[in-house]
Amino acid sequence: MKKIILFLGLFLSVSVFAQEFSSVSQLPDYAVLKAKMKLDDVVTKADTAPEFPGGMDTFKRKFAESMDVIDVKSSKINTRVYFIIEKTGYVRYVTATGDDKKHSQAAEVAVRRLFVKWKPATINGEPVRYMYTFPLALKKYN
């Protein structure tokens, strides 16, 4: 029963927000990202943002479905998931940061399982490499 409640809490707490950073170097986890990702020519703002087939509600649902239910010890988890949507529309360099390593790893795996081609972001009508980021918050209720 606890796993079902955790899964529902995760599903309902996944929130995707618009990019608010003007460059990759302003991201809060920039040092970690620089070590794990190829950040050449990556943008965080574009004329048109990347689009998941079916929209962001579909992305959130599929992400929640593909994320493994894990046993969480702490009562609150804050994880931030980063990935690059390439000019081709495919996702690469998935990285998650947060306090709970198991939760971060599960979030990375969930994004990798969604092998779906996005509509890439564009600037002046040309596709660009785009850093996508979204937070995952999980609050455990006893």
Write down the pLDDT at residue 115: 84
Q: What is the mean pLDDT of residues 73-89?
A: 83
Range of the domain at 50: 2-139
pLDDT value, residue 5 = 43
pTM of the full predicted structure?
A: 0.74
* Sole residue written with tokens 């790893």: 105
Task: Give the C-alpha distances (Å, rounded to integers) separating 18 from 15, 45, 96.
Answer: 10, 9, 18
Count of domains observed in the chain = 1
Q: How confident is the model at residue 88 (pLDDT cuts 50, 70, 90)?
A: very high
Average pLDDT of the chain is 77
Question: Sorting pLDDT into bands at 50, 70 and 90, what band is 142?
Answer: low
**How sure is the predictor about 19, in pLDDT bands with cuts at 50, 70 and 90?**
very low
**pLDDT reading at 101 higher than 60:** yes
Cα distance between residue 78 and residue 28, in whole Å: 13
Mind listing the pLDDT tens digit for each residue in 110-127?
888 888 899 999 999 999
Rounded CA-CA distance 29/12 in Å is 25
